Amino acid sequence: MNPSLTQNPPVATSFFFYGIAAIMIIGGILVITRKNAVHSALALITTLLAQAALYLMLYAPFVAGVQIILYAGGIMVLFLFVIMLIAIERNMKERQFNKQWLIGIVAAGALGGLFIAVYTTVTRTASGSKTIFPLGSSSYAEGQNTQGIAALLFSQQAGTYMFAFEIASLLLLVAIIGAVVMAKKRI
Amino acid sequence: MHDLIQYIQSYLGSDKTPGVAGNFFWATVYVLLVFVGLSVAVIAMNWLERKILAHMQVRLGPMRVGPHGLLQPIADALKLLLKEDIIPDGADKVVFWIAPFIVVLAAFTVFVVVPFGPTHAITDMNIGILFMLGVSSLSVLGIVTAGWASNSHYPLIGALRSSAQMVSYEVAMGLAVVSAILMTSLNATNTGTLSMIGIVEAQKDQQVWFLFKFFPLGIIAFVIFAIAMVAETNRAPFDLPEAESELTAGFHTEYSGFRWSLFFLAEYSAMIAVSSIAVTLWLGGWLRPFPNLLQGATADLVFSLIPGVTFLFLGAICFYNTARMPKHPLFRIQTIGLAGFGAVLALIGLVLFVPVVRLWVSDIFWFSAKVAVFMYLYIWYRGTFPRYRFDQLMKVGWKVLLPTGLALLILTAMVGMRAELIAQVKEALHL
């Protein structure tokens, strides 16, 4: 009997990774090159969904589910809601401009350098084999992912991330208040 | 070849779903079965909705195509496929083309985790309910893009209404779902689950449907969900996105032919999907009524005979109406057709009495029967309630359902943890 048929096939193959990464990059490029804001938003949704697929490959189904609900299903709907009310015809005729390209290039270069640095160090430590994923990652129990996150957040022994999590949500609140203050001159 | 047969046979007798067992062959078979079953259910719903609404309004409904209009859905489908496919001149063609597919994909993908039985699901996920809520929330993207891409006023207004409605009711829906998930953690290990199969098994272990757990908290959560799920699927009385009297047909005004039928398909399969969530979370999923109270061989036998009896009863109704058909020669073919339909139903009923089939089908039958109750309720709502005004809709969503859901969540957590709470209060008061 062929043993490869009965065993669970690995999910995190590099074949899938390259496909999903290509979708993400193409989506990202489309977001900044489309003149039509709705097309940009749809490309951004594609990118976010591909990102959820990447989380799945990293054996983090809970994060993937939250990514779909919050970003693709919640925030992007509000984006589209606002964009659709703007008259798009005028934006289509205007020439696109970008005055921050220098800073943009510096930031993109720094981020790319960081990624390359991470990639090279990971492949060096992972017992010599050329793999993007460190070998330890596949040992996480996929079936206990949600329970694991809950233990990290809430349990009294290991609940060390609760404070950081709440602080991050406070940051979002500050951003929302800032947007309201900027949008409304008189509150 | 021998390997292949062994591979196919290796899954039989397994107590896992094909997705969890990692068996590609049976996973594909289950996907096809679910797809076919859904399509048949949507066709049946099309006929039933028109018939039931008609009878509620003291009309006959479709009577011409086939006996009692039984072939009407097939005639409708043929008409839709043959109709001219119109794309408006000013429409955004690519987005207009994609929108119906987003809606259909979102509506059908959720059935990957719907548990028709302990082994009768395509797969079981650790994040099952989260996956269902997430993917079904993507359908609003399709509706919004459809309305915008049509480049027309009515569809745009319909899409805006729809997105506002779905985003606001998702919050209340989520709170109700969380309170049910909290109940799953009341076991020896204090570990809850998001897996759809796990939720039903928690109800089996606790020997109560979550509808009746912590009375009346479970019922309140269920009612919040039942209201929010009607709003989520844009059905009457929350059908403002497609209010005929105001917006002609709402977000799909400019769609015709096949693309329109995709929206239709998606709407009905989304209704079945949210009903399955409600059945799984509060009504015990595939469990038959009283699995613990009425135990034993006799009760098992009686309950396992019900599917066959149901189909025999439906066949008997067909035969009764065959006898009542007009005796005019023009109705001869229709009379024979109705008798044939009754014979098919009776034959299905007889097959369901075979012990092996009985064992296989009973959980699927109970799940489908519970979902069917919700589908009837959808039609009943449509026949009974007038449409909400938009401000009333927002008021119900944000000012009634949301605060109730929040209070409910806190109360459920407190009741679930009452032993620890009492202990802590006693300790604080030095008792």
Best mutation site among B127, B167, B199 for testing chain A: the one with the most A CBs within 10 Å?
A: B127
What pLDDT does B9 receive? 78
Average pLDDT over residues A79-94: 72
In chain B, which residues have their Cβ closer than 8 Å to the Cβ of A144?
A: 126
CA A21 to chain centre: 11
B149, with CB counted inside 10 A (0-12, 13-18, 19+), is buried
The dihedral region occupied by A128, where left means phi > 0, alpha psi between -120 and 50, and beta the remainder, is left
pLDDT band for position A147 (cuts 50, 70, 90): confident
**pLDDT of A110 higher than 90:** yes
Share of chain A above pLDDT 70, in %: 73
Best mutation site among B141, B165, B178, B197 for testing chain A: the one with the most A CBs within 10 Å?
A: B141
User: For chain B, what are the domain ranges?
Assistant: 2-287+354-424
What pLDDT does A3 receive? 37
Nearest-Cα distance to chain A for B39, in Å, is 26
Best mutation site among A77, A79, A88, A157 for testing chain B: the one with the most B CBs within 10 Å?
A: A77
Nearest-Cα distance to chain B for A118, in Å, is 30
| Closest residue to A68, CB basis, from B10, B135, B166 | B135
Residue type for position B181: I
The complex scores an ipTM of: 0.80
* Token reading at A141: 């129990």
Shortest CA distance from A77: residue in chain B: B141
Residue A174, CA distances (Å) to A63, A167, B78 in order:
24, 11, 56
What pLDDT does B170 receive? 87
Question: Alpha-carbon distance A9 to B64, whole Å?
Answer: 54
CA count, 13 A, side-chain hemisphere, B231: 28
Residue type for position A62: F
CA A142 to chain centre: 20
Whether residue B216 has a cis bond before it, omega within 30° of 0: yes
| Closest residue to B130, CB basis, from A36, A65, A80 | A65
B117: Cβ contacts below 8 Å, ≥ 6 apart: B286, B363, B364, B367
Question: Alpha-carbon distance B27 to B19, whole Å?
Answer: 6
What pLDDT does A138 receive? 44
For A146-169, letters b (16+ CB in 10 Å) and e give bbbebeeeeeeeeeeeeeeeeeee
Residue B355, CA distances (Å) to A116, B14, B302, B307, B341 in order:
63, 19, 12, 12, 24
Residue type for position B8: I
Q: Look at residue A64 and give its three-state secondary structure.
A: helix
User: For chain A, what are the domain ranges?
Assistant: 10-108, 143-187
What pLDDT does B223 receive? 93
Which range among A2-6, A37-41, B1-5, B17-21 shows the weakest confidence by mean pLDDT? A2-6
**Is B126:B196 a contact under the CB 8 Å cutoff?**
no
pLDDT band for position A158 (cuts 50, 70, 90): low
- What does residue B188 show for φ and ψ, rounded to 5 degrees? -60, -35
CATH of A10-108, one of 1.20.120.1200, 1.10.3210.10, 1.10.443.10, 3.40.50.1820: 1.20.120.1200
For chain A, the C-alpha Rg in angstroms (whole number) is 21
What pLDDT does A187 receive? 59
What pLDDT does A139 receive? 45
Nearest to B104 by CA among B235, B252, B266: B266
**Is A116:A132 a contact under the CB 8 Å cutoff?**
no
3-state helix/strand/coil string of B306-373: HHHHHHHHHHHHHHHHHHHCCCCHHHHHHHHHHHHHHHHHHHHHHHCCCHHHHHHHHHHHHHHHHHHH
Nearest-Cα distance to chain B for A42, in Å, is 9
A79, with CB counted inside 10 A (0-12, 13-18, 19+), is middle
The dihedral region occupied by B87, where left means phi > 0, alpha psi between -120 and 50, and beta the remainder, is beta
Nearest to B283 by CA among B222, B230, B225, B211: B211
Q: For each of chain B's 431 residues, which pLDDT tens digit applies? A: 778 888 777 777 777 777 777 778 888 888 999 999 998 899 899 899 999 999 999 998 888 887 888 888 888 888 888 888 888 887 888 888 888 988 999 889 999 989 988 888 888 888 888 889 888 888 888 888 888 888 888 888 888 888 888 888 888 998 999 998 888 888 877 778 888 888 888 888 888 888 888 888 889 999 999 999 998 888 878 887 777 777 777 788 888 888 888 888 888 999 999 999 999 999 888 888 887 777 777 888 888 888 889 999 999 998 898 888 888 888 888 888 889 889 999 999 888 888 888 888 888 899 999 999 999 999 999 889 888 888 888 888 899 999 999 999 999 988 888 888 888 888 888 87
Q: For chain B, which residues lie within 8 Å of any Cβ of chain A, measuring from their own Cβ?
A: 3, 6-7, 10, 22, 92, 94-95, 98, 125-127, 130-131, 133-135, 137-138, 140-141, 144-145, 147-148, 156, 159-160, 163-164, 166-167, 170, 191-194
For CA atoms B203, B208, B211, B213, the dihedral sign is negative
Question: Alpha-carbon distance A69 to A53, whole Å?
Answer: 13
A103, with CB counted inside 10 A (0-12, 13-18, 19+), is exposed
SS3 content of chain A, % helix, strand, coil (to 5): 75, 0, 25
Best mutation site among A11, A34, A84, A88 for testing chain B: the one with the most B CBs within 10 Å?
A: A84
In chain B, which residues have their Cβ closer than 8 Å to the Cβ of A9?
A: 22
CA B17 to chain centre: 20
Does the distance separating the beta carbons of A85 and B141 come in below 8 Å? no
The number of residues making up chain A comes to 187
**Is B94:B119 a contact under the CB 8 Å cutoff?**
no
What pLDDT does A136 receive? 46
Shortest CA distance from B189: residue in chain A: A147
**pLDDT of A112 higher than 90:** yes
Question: Alpha-carbon distance A58 to A72, whole Å?
Answer: 19
For A24-41, letters b (16+ CB in 10 Å) and e give beebeebbeebeebbbbb
For CA atoms B12, B17, B23, B24, the dihedral sign is positive
**Is A183:A177 a contact under the CB 8 Å cutoff?**
no
Q: Look at residue B206 and give its three-state secondary structure.
A: coil
* Token reading at B154: 């009515």
